[in-house]
Structure 1
């Protein structure tokens, strides 16, 4: 009796995945992606400035109890964003970039050494432990803009050889919530912040990234957002619009 051998060809199943470099805006957009997309890679709380200039030496303990917050702050100190992009981005299908984490500026700890002024850094009490008080460089200032634009040039160099499409997610900050409340940010008007962001957004346009946004009148905040009410915590329809633009770009 002959022996029949059955050969089965098993084809690898490729699951699409996004790499998010940014804030809750990119993360919340990825959260409404179709279920066939894998859980995204997420690098947050790292200004493009601190990422481009490299690791920073700090002293003192990090006073954070949240493992996630500690991880984000340690990533900023070690400037992990660019090395991770170089190594991991080719294994993804899209880079989702947003710049909401730039809003608080950066600290200069020494010439050429910068840390993102994130809520994690503020809560860690690390800044007050440095032997020389770090200097704050405000978002929107000419100094910040100069450092940031140079750093974006470095980011372009990091991602351009990957062949992965880059989507700059740049919805305007919300002036109103869907519930009808006027919005501000720590007593700063949304109009003022949108004006500050304008030249940053335009620079990303010039980098030939695919720009993903919504009209001003559609950019509404939501008091029921899981992170609370803020000008950059939007309604579900905003995230769905951003998602649809990204998916159309990936499939084109």
Structure 2
């Protein structure tokens, strides 16, 4: 009988799913949704045209609706493993005039939906003090909700360092000009906070943090290679077999 997996995170986790084979079923995949946005109320200020990609449409619509916890609640009784990574926290968020937050994803920016918003918006970048304050509060609330749904022991959070080199030894361009080492330290602090809330955080060995030159979406600090994907798949298998209680 297969195990049911839900992923909340990014391609870092999703890319490992095929390695799990038919033993696992993917219930839902929530991407491009910062925890700050996930805990925010849905906004009605971002009406607009559809994007060309079905995945991009789903991700953008989900972020605007802040639907992460709604999906967790829908699947809670079925979930064997809830897999979370923090890679998309790199995107930062935008505070809208209605006081709600959305993730500053490429999908949102390219959709043109921000162009029609009347009123003041505030961009809040990752690594900023304001981002940390908002994120820490959002993460505490989100993981409290996960606990209330009885999923604490079924949840694993990945601390996956970003790559500074490819598996061919070439340097990897920085994301939006941000220092990879700084982002790794910041996401490490985020993971430390989650660990303090009583959740399992799994630290990927740094020697696996290489970007694959064969990745289908190209080289990027978070487009990790086969060894990293194999490591992630192994953590999911282990979590499905023997959840840690405590």
Q: Provide TM-score, normalisation by structure 2.
A: 0.91
* Equivalent of residue 227 in structure 1, options 199, 217, 237: 217
1:100-115 superposed matches below 5 A: 100-110=87-97, 112-115=99-102
Matched, 1:170 2:159: yes
1:1-252 superposed matches below 5 A: 14-62=1-49, 64-110=51-97, 112-164=99-151, 165-183=154-172, 184-252=174-242
Q: Provide TM-score, normalisation by structure 1.
A: 0.89
- In the TM superposition, what is the alpha-carbon distance from 1:60 to its structure 2 partner? 4.2
Q: Distance in 1 between matches of 2:147 and 2:185?
A: 29
Give yes or no for contact 1:221–1:231 (8 Å, CA) kept in 2.
yes
- The structure having more radius of gyration, on CA atoms, is 1
- In the TM superposition, what is the alpha-carbon distance from 1:171 to its structure 2 partner? 0.9
Aligned length: 239
Q: What residue number does 1:8 align with?
A: none
Structure 1 residue ranges without an equivalent (≥5): 1-13
Give yes or no for contact 1:63–1:126 (8 Å, CA) kept in 2.
no
CA RMSD between the two structures: 1.6
Structure 2 residue ranges without an equivalent (≥5): none
Q: Distance in 1 between matches of 2:120 and 2:52?
A: 24
- In the TM superposition, what is the alpha-carbon distance from 1:133 to its structure 2 partner? 4.1
Q: Distance in 1 between matches of 2:121 and 2:37?
A: 14
Please state whether the residue corresponding to 2:20 is helix, strand or coil: coil
